[in-house]
Structure 1
Amino acid sequence: MELCETSKDYELLTQKIYKAILESEGVENLEVKHDEKVRGKSGVEHQIDVFWEYKYAGVSHKVLIECKYYSKAVSLIHARNMLGLLNDIPNSQGLLVTTQGFQSGVIDFCNHYEIKLKRIRPPKGSDWDGCIQIVNVNGVLYQNQYLNLGFSFDARDEGTKAFVENNGKEISFNAYDVTVEDEGEKYFIGKWLDKKIVSNLAELGTQREEVIEPEDAHVILSSGDKLKLRNVKVLWELTKQDLSLSVDAMDFVHAVLEDFGSGEVEYTLNK
């Protein structure tokens, strides 16, 4: 599974993850920036892949993240470059983030200079060790199928009467794609019928006809006009459908942030 298409995509993914982490921790007034230019004490301007700055106890602190979207382990030169950034940018903390890992010399070097090493990668099956990854659900769905609908309208209602006078007695609409307003609540026709018709398993597979006479219900046409219902004649049948569903937790996770030293998963970004 490809995590990103380009190095820039990987930088933006890193930005998104750390922004979500900081928001979840309640950090306020803080912007996680991508491709930021930061001037060091030498006067040289440095390009930082992902950057943010915050104040604690009146002291400004900066976080510098360099992202390496590589197919192999990151070499020592990148750790040395990060140390150079930290020396030139006061009160800063450095993180190296990659997809694969780091050469052994990088690990020793970064541990000594307290540069954090992280990996952002696709999820894998072992992330769910000790947990349930796949859930299989088998069941049965019972559902009313509405085979034929016939609508009658109340000609005594002023709004309905006016509509008929202006448009003729032939009222044309899709009976299976209409909204019903019943005592101030609006329902798609199928949901409205489900509230009105009570079925039981003894009626499974048997067609039945029923007449619904609501007290105060209107059909809402696509034009916005409302026609008051007198009754609805319904031919319906209770049906049964076997269901089989498999849910894999991996399908819901886009990326995993882990500490490279401990292997601890620190954050999972959902799709």
Structure 2
Amino acid sequence: MSDGKDYEKFVKDLQQALLDSEKFSEQKNIEIEANKKIIDNFGIEREFDLYWEYELAGVTYKTVIECKDYASRVSIEKIDALIGKTRDIPDLKPVFATKTGYQSGAEAKAKANRIDLLIVRKQRDDDWEDKDGNPLVREINIEMQILPCPRITNFRPRIDGNWAKENTNLDPSTKLISSGMNNEIFIEDVANNDTYSLYDLAYRLDSKANGEYGDLSHTETFQEAYFLNNGLRLKMLSYEVDFFRQKPIINPINIDFSKELVGVIEYLHKGSSTAIFKDRIIKDWK
């Protein structure tokens, strides 16, 4: 048996998360107090591990929880002690919490005195099984394969010189400069009714790699196609393109739901349990 302080905080954190999730808590800030001292009808100061209260429809509801971090089942004497502490304090709802369980006599005595019994604990392996023993999804492993787009390193269009001579005023003695972003330089494939940029071409090259990686090249010939850039339109016979194709990036992903499960509250009087996760609460967990 420990001094119980860590367990009291554990119970408090789970119960606070549960209270915060309730609809009536959206309008009321309910705070759980630890080591709450209450004066009974005879002026005797009684101390309880946890206490909270709230008002609903003009009625104040008060609850106390006694927390026992026992390795063995709670005996009837502990229930008797709680009954003695709460008998002379009106309108107080007593609750008992432990991590292991209760002796049969303790359960019977608690039921007769309307004391709710809780088992508040860390998760167990059987929490990840349904009532029939079938496994629940506890962990998911994903191997994500990221396929980087091929990167064009050189693009060499072959222009139809005869067409350019007959259809443009370009001076063959001067150097033609064509520049632009890869989404500003286009190939117009008239025969196939297809127009695409060098940016688009980079994605298409993936299917031209024949499963190879590294520095690769590809040649495409046309029946009728044009090179388009900044108002320039030149008939193109073919192009050669050099590109680099990187191997897939393997990124293993592990999703372990058990790491998100903070604790479980079993309600013996209802025969149900609630799972408290870091980001959500699942009632009727089992």
Please tell me the TM-score bracket, short chain as reference: 0.5 to 0.7
Q: Hey, what does 1:249 align to over in structure 2?
A: 257
Count how many residue pairs are aligned between Structure 1 and Structure 2: 193
Q: Contact conserved, 2:31 with 2:52, CA < 8 A, in 1?
A: yes
**How far apart, CA to CA, are the structure 2 residues paired with 1:6 and 1:206?**
64
Structure 1: 5+ residue runs without aligned partners?
147-194, 209-234
Q: Hey, what does 2:147 align to over in structure 1?
A: 142
Using the TM superposition, give the Cα deviation of residue 259 of structure 1 relative to its aligned residue in structure 2, in angstroms: 1.1
Q: Contact conserved, 1:15 with 1:50, CA < 8 A, in 2?
A: yes
Q: Hey, what does 2:248 align to over in structure 1?
A: 240
Structure 2: 5+ residue runs without aligned partners?
131-135, 152-198, 217-242, 280-286
Using the TM superposition, give the Cα deviation of residue 50 of structure 1 relative to its aligned residue in structure 2, in angstroms: 0.8
Shift in CA distance, 138/113, structure 1 to aligned 2, threshold 3 Å:
same
Tell me the amino acid that sits aligned with residue 7 of structure 2.
Y
Using the TM superposition, give the Cα deviation of residue 45 of structure 1 relative to its aligned residue in structure 2, in angstroms: 1.2
Q: Deviations over 1:43-98 (max 9, x none)?
A: 11111111001223433221010000111111112111111222122101011001
**How far apart, CA to CA, are the structure 2 residues paired with 1:50 and 1:143?**
56
User: Which structure would you say has the larger Rg?
Assistant: 2
Q: Deviations over 1:134-173 (max 9, x none)?
A: 3232341234799xxxxxxxxxxxxxxxxxxxxxxxxxxx
Q: Hey, what does 2:18 align to over in structure 1?
A: 21
Using the TM superposition, give the Cα deviation of residue 41 of structure 1 relative to its aligned residue in structure 2, in angstroms: 1.5
Q: Hey, what does 2:137 align to over in structure 1?
A: 132
What SS does the aligned partner of 1:18 have?
helix
Q: Contact conserved, 1:255 with 1:270, CA < 8 A, in 2?
A: no
**How far apart, CA to CA, are the structure 2 residues paired with 1:207 and 1:6?**
67
1:186-201 alignment, distance < 5 Å? 201=206
Q: Contact conserved, 2:11 with 2:120, CA < 8 A, in 1?
A: yes
User: Aligned Cα RMSD in Å?
Assistant: 3.1
Shift in CA distance, 91/243, structure 1 to aligned 2, threshold 3 Å:
same
1:1-271 alignment, distance < 5 Å? 7-26=4-23, 27=25, 28-130=28-130, 131-143=136-148, 201-202=206-207, 205-206=213-214, 238-270=246-278
What SS does the aligned partner of 2:14 have?
helix
Shift in CA distance, 116/11, structure 1 to aligned 2, threshold 3 Å:
same
Q: Contact conserved, 1:64 with 1:94, CA < 8 A, in 2?
A: yes
**How far apart, CA to CA, are the structure 2 residues paired with 1:145 and 1:262?**
61
**How far apart, CA to CA, are the structure 2 residues paired with 1:47 and 1:268?**
27
Task: State the identity %.
Answer: 24
